[in-house]
């Protein structure tokens, strides 16, 4: 009865579970799938997120399975260098930026949680159908699958919804919200075993979405054959899309034409795309920021609270920051409702700014500026198009809003 009930065993839910356990607050995590498998593609952990995971004793484990990203490098669709800057420790941060396979990260978090809290504290096959609460606690209702007949109810002190953009608890409190908001950009994602690109730890952004944009970065260290696992994302303005499904296969023929002539001295992009074992397709979506997350003993975290378009490498990181803030609030406030209200005050406004900035001026706004100023033509010298001070300003502005400027992390 004293347990915190965490609904969802993704990055946010597992990080929260680890943080609560470290703080001596008992919790259980309920995950909808029957078996956890290391699925997905690449994500990034910016220095503010890796700082929190290091505080949980996970940095060494992550460094063995991730790439410590060293630089962000921007090109136009003609392969011309626009801007480059160091990242993570290479930029003077105390903590690294990690590029990692999402499945590898989830399994590392899960292994740590089971080892520390106990295997019986993580339960699979629990699909949340809703929550009720009273003066003494919460009752979280589950079935063994969507619309399943095998149902159960779990009592706890507090319920935290970490079950993503399609959260059943979010829908319960906001039944009229509607479908996720489509950005107008469709994405195709894949991973390819490939020789190191540029520094071997570079995050590459190239092109622009009206004609085709690529994001490319390695997510696993090189194997014995010298090849890394490289994550790539193709983003193209697309008026028609299908509802998001993280596991829907995509067709290379639907998008590779936009990149057919991307043969650069530093990378053959069509060959990289065709080298993928499989391709996933889904629309770039988010939701309008909510007016509140917390309802007495129930609150939202991560994508259940603030789903954002993936244009700032920041979605997982914000869920990790949520977990830290929520744990601190529960430690410092004996009254659960007061604790959840403190957490909401600390995190809602900050994440609202990021959701809205990701729509308009994330780091890849650098590419948009050059695209518009050159009218999508090659340049003789980038200094004729945009000054370095402007490029630095665009990059630093996002870091401040997202909470990982050097000044913010020194505080």
| Long-range CB contact pairs, 349-352, < 8 A, 24+ | 350/403, 351/289, 351/305, 351/306, 351/308, 351/318, 351/322, 352/289, 352/306
- E-strand spans in 109-250? 122-123, 127-133, 138-143, 151-156, 158-161, 181-194, 202-208, 212-220, 228-237
Dihedral over Cα of 209, 212, 217, 218: its sign? positive
202 has which bridge partners? 71
pLDDT band at 405 (very low <50, low <70, confident <90, very high): confident
The answer to whether residue 163 is domain-embedded is yes
Q: What average pLDDT does range 362-383 have in this prediction?
A: 95
Residue 1 has pLDDT above 70, yes or no: no
Q: What average pLDDT does range 63-90 have in this prediction?
A: 97
Residue 244 has pLDDT above 60, yes or no: no
- Compute the mean pLDDT over every residue in the chain, rounded to the nearest whole number: 93
Return the CATH number at 141: 3.50.50.60
The answer to whether residue 401 is domain-embedded is no
Task: Name the least confident of 134-148, 268-282, 330-344, 346-360.
Answer: 134-148
pLDDT band at 148 (very low <50, low <70, confident <90, very high): confident
Neighbours of 410 (CB within 10 A): 8
The answer to whether residue 327 is domain-embedded is yes
Residue 44 has pLDDT above 60, yes or no: yes
Task: Name the least confident of 32-41, 112-121, 282-291.
Answer: 32-41
Task: Name the least confident of 54-58, 77-81, 307-311, 344-348.
Answer: 307-311
Distance, in Å, from the CA atom of 263 to the CA atom of 404, rounded to the nearest integer, reads 34
The answer to whether residue 382 is domain-embedded is no
Quick one: pLDDT at residue 144? 86
The tally of domains found in the chain comes to 1
Quick one: pLDDT at residue 247? 65
Distance, in Å, from the CA atom of 277 to the CA atom of 79, rounded to the nearest integer, reads 25
Dihedral over Cα of 344, 345, 351, 356: its sign? positive
The answer to whether residue 395 is domain-embedded is no
Task: Name the least confident of 227-236, 238-247, 277-286, 306-315.
Answer: 238-247
Share of the chain above pLDDT 90, in %: 81
Tokens 């290391």 appear where?
A: 38
Distance, in Å, from the CA atom of 307 to the CA atom of 354, rounded to the nearest integer, reads 10
Quick one: pLDDT at residue 362? 85
Quick one: pLDDT at residue 246? 56
Residue 292 has pLDDT above 60, yes or no: yes
**Token digits of residue 308:** 């954002």
What is the pTM for the complete model shown?
0.95
**Domain with 316 in it:** 4-39+102-179+290-360
Quick one: pLDDT at residue 282? 86
pLDDT band at 294 (very low <50, low <70, confident <90, very high): very high
| 305: nearest Cα among 295, 313, 136 | 295
Write out pLDDT tens, residues 159-179: 999 999 899 999 999 999 988
The answer to whether residue 308 is domain-embedded is yes
Write out pLDDT tens, residues 100-147: 999 999 999 999 999 999 999 999 999 999 999 999 999 999 998 777
Residue 16 has pLDDT above 70, yes or no: yes
Task: Name the least confident of 43-52, 189-198, 306-315.
Answer: 306-315
Quick one: pLDDT at residue 34? 86
Quick one: pLDDT at residue 147? 76
Task: Name the least confident of 21-30, 220-229, 277-286.
Answer: 277-286
pLDDT band at 404 (very low <50, low <70, confident <90, very high): confident
The answer to whether residue 309 is domain-embedded is yes
Residue 254 has pLDDT above 70, yes or no: yes
Distance, in Å, from the CA atom of 411 to the CA atom of 222, rounded to the nearest integer, reads 35
Quick one: pLDDT at residue 180? 87
Residue 96 has pLDDT above 80, yes or no: yes
Quick one: pLDDT at residue 242? 65
Query: What residues have CB less than 8 Å from 405, skipping those under 6 apart?
Result: 396, 399
Write out pLDDT tens, residues 153-163: 999 999 999 99
Quick one: pLDDT at residue 40? 79
Quick one: pLDDT at residue 245? 57
The answer to whether residue 70 is domain-embedded is no
């Amino acid at each position: 009865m004293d347990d915190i009930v965490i609904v969802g065993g993704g990055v946010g839910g597992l990080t929260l579970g680890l943080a609560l356990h470290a703080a001596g607050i008992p919790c259980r995590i309920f995950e909808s799938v029957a078996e956890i498998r290391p699925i997905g593609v690449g994500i990034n952990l910016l220095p503010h997120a890796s700082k929190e995971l290091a505080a949980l004793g996970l940095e060494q484990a992550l460094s063995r399975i991730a790439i410590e990203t060293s630089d962000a490098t921007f090109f136009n669709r003609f392969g011309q260098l626009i801007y480059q800057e160091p990242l993570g420790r290479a930029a003077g941060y105390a903590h690294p930026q990690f590029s990692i396979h999402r499945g590898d990260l989830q399994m590392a978090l899960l292994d740590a949680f089971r080892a520390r809290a106990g295997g019986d504290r993580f339960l699979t096959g629990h699909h949340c159908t809703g929550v009720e609460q009273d003066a003494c606690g919460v009752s979280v209702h589950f079935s063994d699958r969507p619309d399943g007949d095998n149902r159960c109810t779990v009592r706890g002190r507090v319920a935290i919804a970490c079950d993503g953009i399609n959260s059943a608890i979010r829908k319960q409190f906001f039944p009229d919200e509607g479908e996720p908001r489509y950005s107008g950009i469709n994405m195709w994602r894949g991973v390819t075993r490939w020789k190191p690109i540029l520094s071997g730890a570079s995050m590459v952004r190239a092109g622009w979405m009206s004609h085709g944009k690529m994001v490319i970065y390695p997510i696993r260290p090189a194997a014995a054959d010298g090849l890394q696992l490289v994550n790539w994302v193709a983003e193209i303005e697309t008026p028609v899309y299908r509802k998001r499904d993280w596991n829907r296969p995509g067709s290379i023929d639907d998008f590779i034409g936009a990149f057919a002539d991307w043969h650069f001295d530093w990378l053959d992009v069509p060959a990289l795309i065709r080298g993928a074992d499989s391709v996933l397709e889904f629309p770039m979506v988010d939701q309008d920021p909510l007016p509140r997350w917390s309802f007495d003993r129930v609150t939202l975290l991560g994508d259940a609270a603030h789903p954002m378009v993936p244009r700032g490498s920041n979605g997982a990181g914000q869920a990790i920051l949520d977990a830290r803030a929520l744990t601190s609030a529960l430690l410092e406030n004996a009254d659960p409702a007061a604790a959840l209200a403190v957490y909401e005050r600390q995190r809602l406004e900050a994440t609202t700014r990021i959701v809205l900035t990701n729509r308009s001026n994330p780091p890849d706004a650098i590419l948009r500026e050059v695209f518009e100023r050159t009218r999508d033509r090659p340049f003789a010298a980038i200094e004729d198009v945009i000054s370095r001070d402007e490029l630095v300003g665009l990059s630093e502005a996002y870091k401040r809003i997202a909470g990982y400027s050097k000044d913010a992390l020194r505080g």
